[in-house]
Amino acid sequence: MQIRYFTLHSTKYYWSDTAQNFVVFTGLEDLEVTCSTVHSKHSTGLSRNQQEYRRLFFGVNEIAVKVPSVFKLLIKEVLNPFYIFQLFSVILWSADEYYYYAAAIVFMSVVSIATSLYTIKKQYVMLHDMVAAHSIVRVSVIRANNEIEEAMSTDLVPGDVMVIPSNGTIMPCDAVLVSGTCIVNESMLTGESVPVTKTNLPNPRQGGRGSDSDTVYCTEEHKRHTLFCGTNVIQTRFYSGELVKAVVVRTGFSTAKGQLVRSILYPKPTDFKLYRDAYLFLLCLVAVAGIGFIYSIALSIINKVPAKTIIIESLDIITITVPPALPAAMTAGIVYAQRRLKHIGIFCISPQRINICGQLNLVCFDKTGTLTEDGLDLWGIQRVENKSFLLSEENAYRESLVKSQFVACMATCHSLTKIEGQLSGDPLDLKMFEATGWILEEATEEETSLHNRIMPTVVRPPKQLLPEPTVSSQQDMELYELSQSGYEIGIVRQFPFSSALQRMSVVTRTLGEKRMEAFLKGAPEVVASLCKKDTVPEDFAEVLEDYTKQGFRVIALAHRRLESKLTWHKVQNVSRDHIEANMEFLGLIIMQNKLKPETPGVLEDLRRANIRTVMVTGDNMLTAISVARDCGMIPPEDRVIIADALPPKDGQAAKINWRYADNPTKSSGKATRLEEVEISLEDVSQGEEARQSERYHFAMSGKAFAVITEHFQDLLQKLVLHGTVFARMAPDQKTQLVEVLQSVDYFVGMCGDGANDCGALKRAHGGISLSELEASVASPFTSRTPNISCVPNLIREGRAALITSFCVFKFMALYSIIQYISVTLLYSILSNLGDFQFLFIDIAIILLIVFTMSLNPAWKELVPRRPPSGLISGPLLFSVLTQILVCLGFQTMAFLWVRKQSWWEPWTPLSDTRGDFNQTFCLSSQCACNLSSSSNISLELNETELDDHYIKNYENTTLFYVSSFQYLIVAIVFSKGKPFRQPSYKNWPFVLSACSLYAFLFFILFYPISAIDDFLEIVCVPFQWRLTILLIVFVNAVVCILVETLVLDVVLWKLVFSRDKQGSYASGPAAPTAQGSIDLWGCGCVSWPCCRQKRVPKARYMHLAQELSVDPDWPPKPKTTTEAKPPPPSAPPAGQPPPPTRPENGSYRIIAAS
């Protein structure tokens, strides 16, 4: 049998003759098996032949993170284009006998490669150790003949039936429970260390139900019955001696843990403009080098220079123009930023993303545990009697309530369990149960094996709360016939909480009662819909809205007595829908989720910096809006428009109903203001001004987001432009939202506590996890500080690192060009810089300055302006080009000026001494150098032979001094501080280095020492010329500083580039000045004489903001409905306007609500 397949990113793709394409086999789900089929056909195990056959397709059940050998990593690292170029440069310098700098570059490259190899190897080893821990275990497998055999977990294939040991295990695969229950810690996948109870997959046919309720098994839909790979099974429960069995669904990299590891091994590439522009900029330098290359060849041929010299010197031009030390210089700033982040408790596993964080202009926040405290506090309860709400009560720990159904529901409707004697489970359940003061008792393992498939958990109130039997009210006596032995409630069956259903329920039996009862807990809207209408208070919606507006989390409770025919055995097979129907509404539990004290201040800092903030939560819509208002994400005066999207139904198209969160039907003042705004739109200028004064935010639920994504693609980008609250969002929807925001050119940050945020944290440009659990390994950044104060710190450090990268790149570019100018000018007289001059410039000046100028810490606060995103931008190009022209001008002037001096002549070794030993040759004032005062200079007339390379001459010395000062001048000019970095004078290593180099250069300029002059191969020049060099350098410095600070930073930035005003598009509705600043940016462009039109912004979100600012139908008015409709096949009928934008999946129309 031949199988055609290939492997990519640890996934096998098999050729399918049926599909005529390559397909991926993930596991049992490929067969689309139903829940009943899992029980009937897949719960008996596989034969050996079946297992061997399946292993051909699914391979070994192993998540193998192979740690590459050092040799492989070395080859991969060395094949980097920069290192290849460095190798070429080193060979060339060695041929030119320039050994010292070649050795320095080799040393730096070796250190850089060694450090990189160590870091990469360490990450691979850490990931390997994390994955390998407990990944291979011994398991018990049931074969087709009901034999149980021991096997290694690597031998498991989809369809195998494994026995979960009673003392727990680390799951080696994804498997669905078919018998028994398990308590599992899923922190590896979700970030939540809260134990989760997993129950066996329901068998629809066993309960006598038809095939209608038989659904296709899906790991996501049936995750409450699925044990995921990598999760820790803490303990199991089995009944009547039956084993806890699970059918293997997925193995290897197809499992949940495998997919997480794959996303870490093969991350989405971060395409950042800085790196693309860097390569483009280098190509420009290569082009400049090409010009010099051709020039040097032509000049050498004209002067009949030997071929070897022509080759070496012309190629040397290329190594001068493209600096080999650039990779090390660029990396330094990121390494320093990573070290500073670590110092403030932020750990980074993807250093390249630090620069990207400097561009963030939108941050998504999870709510619970991120903006608000992790735990919930019980604020109060509000019971219902006779279809009306009673007054709210502070707690349920009272003797008068101990036997009420309300407290019974609080005590039983949860998924708590005892682990090592401690109550453990969902924090909400824990708070709710603790508020009752009741006691939970679980049967031991020996006792569970004797019971016949019931949940042997019992709850009872403390004895001090139990009233005397004679005190019981008439109502309680009807519901409970208590025996003298006590009051206990046994939990017979549990239907776990489902995020899709937004509820959970339990079936209980009270001691002494013949009939069982069902208790239900969940989202108020859902619970009310499952209750009899005559038990739900008429003011239910108003009371609920009042609580949610105040930011409370509200849970509703319900109850019903079950039919007497339902026995203990029948309850185990009854469907959930049968139990959760015709309930009686009991009341509300009001939980308070307090804001973290740091939250409002941090969000205000981000708002002032024109960084948009968005809330993405799984909580209730109105609660989320209330929290958004409380924390300042939505200012009090701003409008909130809720988009209620409904999917197509009964032949009707999908539609969106628009309404105000603040109930505009009652708030007549707001409605009036809206009408006034509509009436006042008389002319365009007044209209735009009025519209910009209105600020609005969209809020939508996860269901609405799904409908809009599918049916209103052309509206989606407009909605996210002002979308601030996204409630009831599933984990994959959070990831989709990040992708949509990125599609309109936002740089998106994501901050979550690790629970359900892993996908979004990985997908965002900068994801920061507040959880230090294993799930945070998927996030580029992890904060040890458990609040959002880490976000502005990360952005500040990102901005500082980004500006540092720009500074270093600009400095290295200028260093190359300055040296290129010097060498090109010297080539014209067949001269060059000496080896030790190159060495002094390259090591003493450049490397020292580069590695210290990167040490500037971040500025202490965030500013509204954002740094440029790439090197190919107006400010940076202007800065680099003007500095190049200034340096070119002053070097050329010095080169030509020295040749015009009266004392100038082609230099010989005798030039320095001629004024001493032979006054007949020249007058003292006209000699190049008068050394009569320097008695320590000995004359060695035997060295009168000419220098082969003609290094020593007046032009060389003049250019060496001028260029050396130019390197320091541009370093200081480019090393900017505020508003993104601390001022350079606070960077003492840089100040010390620059001052030391200045002092040394001034010293050798005005007090020549023969040993230093000989080493650097510089010649003696008259004192008057030294003063002239000082004057040239001083004027050069003044011009450079004026051009960079006055012309660029003050005039051009404000008039043309206006990056800070462009950034206001990013702020959207969150910033008070955001809407109005759209036109300000355009006015800035118009004020510039060269710009006659308002330029179209590059970023998609800016372009959308401009479109919407003049759209009369935006934002949608209240009491209107937007209805989806298929796109017309031809032009629209006369009188009907075309759709606002070209639709992707359809169009829409706005209709007035009745």
Residues with catalytic roles: 366
Among candidate residues 202, 228, 207, the one with its CA nearest the CA of residue 217: 202
What length does the chain have?
1154
Structure token digits, residue 447: 């006792």
Give the C-alpha separation, 500 to 1142, whole Å: 34
Structure token digits, residue 116: 């990189």
Give the C-alpha separation, 315 to 310, whole Å: 8
| Cis peptide, bond prior to residue 1140, ω within 30 of zero | no
Neighbours of 211 (CB within 10 A): 10
Q: DSSP strand E in 578-638: where?
A: 584-592, 612-616
Q: Where are the alpha helices (DSSP H) in 96-172?
A: 99-132
Task: Give the three-state DSSP class for 543.
Answer: helix
* Burial (CB count <10 Å: 0-12, 13-18, 19+), residue 635: middle
Among candidate residues 1027, 1023, 1013, 1030, the one with its CA nearest the CA of residue 930: 1023
Pairing relationship of beta strands 612-616 and 362-365 according to DSSP bridges:
parallel
Give the C-alpha separation, 1154 to 1152, whole Å: 6
CB contact at 8 A, 724 and 633 = yes
Neighbours of 591 (CB within 10 A): 22
CB contact at 8 A, 700 and 724 = no
1130-1135 CB contacts, 8 Å cutoff, 24+ apart: none
Task: Count the helices and strands in the chain (H runs, E runs).
Answer: 39, 36
| Cis peptide, bond prior to residue 979, ω within 30 of zero | yes
Pairing relationship of beta strands 161-163 and 148-152 according to DSSP bridges:
unpaired
Neighbours of 99 (CB within 10 A): 14
Among candidate residues 281, 552, 565, the one with its CA nearest the CA of residue 428: 552
What does the angle CA 776 – CA 778 – CA 779 come to, to the nearest 5 degrees? Answer: 70
Query: How large is the C-alpha radius of gyration of the chain?
Result: 38
- Cα dist. 424→166, 198, 417, 427, 433 in Å? 18, 14, 6, 8, 11
Residue type, 288: V
Q: Can you say how many angstroms the Cα of residue 565 is from the centroid of all Cα atoms in its chain?
A: 55
Number of Cα atoms under 13 Å in the Cβ half of residue 159: 23
CB contact at 8 A, 184 and 234 = yes
Structure token digits, residue 791: 């976000």
Task: Tell me, letter by letter, the H, E, C secondary structure of 2-47.
Answer: CCCEEEECCEEEEEECCCCEEECCCEHHHHCCEHHHHHHHCCCCEC
Structure token digits, residue 1122: 């937007």
What are the residues whose beta carbons fall under 8 Å from the beta carbon of 1152, sequence distance 6 or more? 1119, 1120, 1121
* Phi-psi group of 139: left, alpha or beta (phi > 0 → left; psi -120 to 50 → alpha; rest → beta): beta
Structure token digits, residue 857: 């810490």
Residue type, 121: K
Backbone angles phi, psi at 859, to 5 degrees: -65, 150
Alpha-carbon dihedral angle through residues 731, 737, 743, 744, given to the nearest 10 degrees: -160
